[in-house]
């Protein structure tokens, strides 16, 4: 079907005026004018099921968040150089969701800024410069963070101080070994190679859902050995919870908790304000104290009254609506349904993930696991044509990325699975 004329015109105008780097999803791009829960509505009133966007975590246009922001807008917005009781309340509430050792919070505006600050603190604290990340990780867009975001590709080179390790894909583990052992050995080799090149370790940073590597969440527990290795080399472990945080993985608020490890620094963003730009860095105090004494860090919008009002309202909803429980139930139902639909498909090697973060890997052959990017793209576009939004991820973009707002409920699961079954009948 041809795109509506109005949409075509807007796309042409967009190409004239927008700067570099803007891309649209889908062969037939979409524009939305409103939303509620996990639903988005286009100009003609059509309802799309959003199974992709994680920023509107408690649901599109959630009234409680909207009211909290609007109310604050009509009162005042001040920055962190004025006393703000609401900021202190928020920090106390957010920190209460962490182990007690993680007891200091800095607020910024984006995940990139959070990771930028986290890495500056890690370098300052350890005196090292070496950084370890997974092979196809994304951590953000500043020059520093881009230098350890291999997913950005050749146009954005990695730093000479950066080493890559495999994402935790249990299928890479040699027979007789364990994922913990496999990961620990890779981290050890990366540390040795950094040292050979004159770099002491500053940090290992991992996305706790390994979103851009292709979504790898399991088995829980392997990170313990890895973090021990990092600490033994004098480095710190930064858990990037930009994707996995705020109950996304279902069992707890934070992805690292599934591994029973204590990170030195935790970063978060995207869902934190349900759309207001707010991000955070949580520290063990001993890691950030010296930095605080020596380096001036002031973030104009970070921690100002309006984004903090949004952040507090998100925590209200997460508590009141028992979101975590729903995430667990709906996420399990989604994976069970997807496995049932795809169990005989020669093109689906794995349905994986935790909570409402689901990956469906599309391959040429279930034995060789050779990626099938074109088929994944066809499925994504077929789903969009049936008004369900998903996308792809991983090195070859061949893993379907199903990551709805946490407002996704059991009726949404049913609609998703019914539509996916239709698409699968034709394609998989
Ligand atoms: N870390 C991870 C794991 C991310 O997925 C992203 C964004 N995709 C970022 C950091 C950067 O966040 P932002 O786009 O808010 O700067």
Residue 50 shares a structural domain with residue 186: no
- State in Å: Cα 150 to ligand 1 middle: 13
Q: 155: CA distance to ligand 1 center in Å? A: 18
What does the mean pLDDT of the chain come to?
97
Is 51's pLDDT higher than 80? Answer: yes
Domain boundary among 292, 320, 348: 320
Ligand 1 atom 10: residue of nearest CA? 139
| CB neighbour burial string for 213-233, b if at least 16 within 10 angstroms, e if fewer | bbbbbeeeebbebbbebbeeb
Domain of 370: which CATH number?
3.90.1150.10
The CA-CA-CA angle for residues 277, 289, 158, to 5°, reads 60
Gap from CA of 269 to ligand 1 centroid (Å): 7
Distance 63 CA to ligand 1 centre (A): 26
Query: Could you tell me if the CB of 115 is within 6 A of ligand 1?
Result: yes
Do 24 and 75 fall into the same domain? no
**Is there a single domain that holds both residue 313 and residue 327?**
no
Ligand 1 center to residue 138 CA distance, Å? 7
Q: Are residues 120 and 49 part of one domain?
A: no
Q: Is the CB of 258 under 6 A from ligand 1?
A: no
- Give me the mean pLDDT over the 361-365 stretch: 98
Instruction: Tell whether ligand 1 has an atom less than 6 A from the beta carbon of residue 269.
Output: yes
Instruction: Give me the domain span that covers residue 30.
Output: 5-58+322-427
The verdict on 108 and 42 lying in the same domain is: no
Q: Is 184 in the pocket of ligand 1 (CB under 6 A)?
A: no
Largest CA distance in the chain: 63
Query: What residue's CA is closest to ligand 1, atom 5?
Result: 243
Rounded Cα distance between 125 and 403, Å, is 35
**Does the N-terminal peptide bond of residue 237 adopt cis geometry, omega within 30 degrees of 0?**
no
Ligand 1 binding pocket includes 111 (Cβ within 6 Å)? yes
Same domain, 340 and 275: no
pLDDT category of residue 87 using cuts at 50, 70 and 90 = very high
Q: What is the pLDDT of residues 213-254, one digit of tens each?
A: 999 999 999 999 999 999 999 999 999 999 999 999 999 999
Binding site membership of 401 for ligand 1 (Cβ less than 6 Å):
no
116 CA → ligand 1 middle, Å? 11
Q: What is the DSSP string of 184-201?
A: HHHHHHHHHHHHHTT--E
Q: Indicate if 113 and 254 belong to the same structural domain.
A: yes
Pair 342, 271 in one domain:
no
- pTM (two decimals): 0.98
Instruction: Return the ligand 1 atom nearest residue 209 CA.
Output: 3
Question: Is the same domain home to 235 and 86?
Answer: yes
Ligand 1 centre to CA of 273 (Å) is: 14
Mutate to test the pocket of ligand 1, among 55, 112, 119, 207 (most ligand atoms within 8 A of CB): 112
Q: What is the predicted pLDDT for the residue at 52?
A: 98
Same domain for 208 and 118?
yes
Q: Is the CB of 326 under 6 A from ligand 1?
A: no
Please work out whether the CB of residue 169 comes within 6 Å of at least one atom of ligand 1: no
2 pLDDT band (50/70/90 cuts)? confident
Tell me the CA–centroid distance for residue 31 and ligand 1, in Å: 23
Sign, CA dihedral 137-257-299-288, equals negative
Confidence of residue 7 (pLDDT cuts 50, 70, 90): very high
Out of 320, 335, 362, pick the residue that ends a domain: 320
Could you tell me which of 397, 97, 59, 358 has the C-alpha nearest to residue 209?
A: 358
pLDDT at 1 over 70: no
Same structural domain, 402 and 350: yes
Q: Is the CB of 207 under 6 A from ligand 1?
A: yes
357-362 vs 399-402, strand pairing mode: antiparallel
Q: The domain that contains 101 carries what CATH number?
A: 3.40.640.10
CA distance 72 to 79: 13
Select from 179, 175, 161, 73 the least CA-distant residue to 123: 161
pLDDT at 177 over 70: yes
The C-alpha atoms of residue 369 and residue 97 are separated, in whole angstroms, by 39
Atom of ligand 1 nearest to the CA of 140: 11
pLDDT given for residue 26 in this prediction: 96
Q: Is 357 touching ligand 1 by the criterion CB < 6 Å?
A: no
**Residue 340: CA atoms inside 13 Å, Cβ hemisphere, count?**
10
Q: What would the pLDDT profile of 119-172 be if each residue is shown by its tens digit?
A: 999 999 999 999 999 999 999 999 999 999 999 998 999 999 999 999 999 999
Does residue 94 share a domain with residue 37?
Answer: no
Q: Whose CA is nearest to atom 1 of ligand 1?
A: 139
Ligand 1 neighbour 148 (Cβ under 6 A): no
Nearest ligand 1 atom to the CA of 244 is: 3
In short, whether 140's Cβ falls inside 6 Å of ligand 1 is yes
Residue where a domain stops, chosen among 298, 320, 342: 320
- Give the chain's domain count: 2
């Amino acid at each position: 079907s041809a795109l509506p004329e109005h949409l075509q015109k807007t796309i042409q105008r967009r190409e004239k005026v927008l700067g570099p780097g803007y891309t649209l999803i889908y062969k037939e791009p979409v524009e939305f004018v409103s939303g509620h829960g996990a639903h988005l509505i286009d100009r003609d009133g059509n309802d799309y099921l959003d199974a992709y966007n994680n920023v509107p975590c408690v649901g599109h246009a959630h009234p409680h968040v909207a009211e909290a922001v609007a109310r604050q807008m009509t009162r005042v917005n001040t920055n962190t150089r004025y006393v703000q009781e609401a900021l202190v309340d928020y920090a106390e509430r957010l920190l209460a969701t962490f182990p007690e050792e993680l007891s200091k919070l800095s607020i910024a505006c984006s995940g990139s800024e959070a990771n930028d600050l986290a890495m500056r603190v890690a370098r300052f604290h350890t005196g090292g410069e070496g950084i370890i990340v997974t092979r196809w990780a994304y951590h953000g867009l500043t020059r520093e963070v881009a230098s350890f975001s291999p997913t950005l590709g050749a146009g954005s080179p990695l730093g000479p101080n950066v080493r890559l390790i495999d994402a935790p894909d249990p299928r890479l583990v040699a027979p007789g070994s364990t994922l913990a052992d496999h990961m620990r050995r890779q981290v050890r080799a990366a540390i040795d190679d950094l040292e050979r090149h004159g770099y002491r370790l500053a940090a290992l940073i991992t996305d706790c859902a390994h979103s851009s590597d292709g979504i790898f969440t399991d088995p829980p527990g392997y990170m313990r050995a890895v973090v021990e290795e990092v600490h033994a080399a004098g480095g710190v472990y930064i858990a990037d919870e930009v994707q996995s945080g705020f109950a996304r993985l279902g069992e707890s608020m934070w992805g690292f908790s599934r591994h029973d490890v204590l990170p030195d620094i935790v970063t978060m963003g995207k869902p934190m304000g349900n759309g207001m730009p707010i991000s955070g860095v949580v520290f063990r105090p001993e890691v950030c104290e010296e930095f605080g004494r020596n380096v001036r860090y002031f973030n104009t919008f970070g921690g100002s009254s309006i984004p903090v009002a949004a952040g507090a309202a998100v925590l209200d909803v997460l508590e009141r609506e028992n979101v975590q429980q729903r995430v667990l139930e709906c996420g399990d139902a989604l994976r069970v349904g997807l496995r049932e639909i795809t169990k005989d498909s020669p093109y689906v090697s794995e349905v994986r993930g935790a909570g409402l973060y689901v990956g469906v890997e599309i391959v040429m052959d279930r034995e060789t696991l050779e990626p099938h990017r074109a088929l994944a793209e066809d499925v994504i576009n077929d789903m969009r044509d049936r008004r369900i939004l998903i996308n792809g991820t991983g090195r070859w973009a061949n893993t379907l990325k199903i990551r709805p707002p946490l407002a996704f409920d059991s009726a949404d699961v049913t609609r998703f699975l019914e539509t996916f079954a239709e698409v699968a009948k034709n394609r998989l």
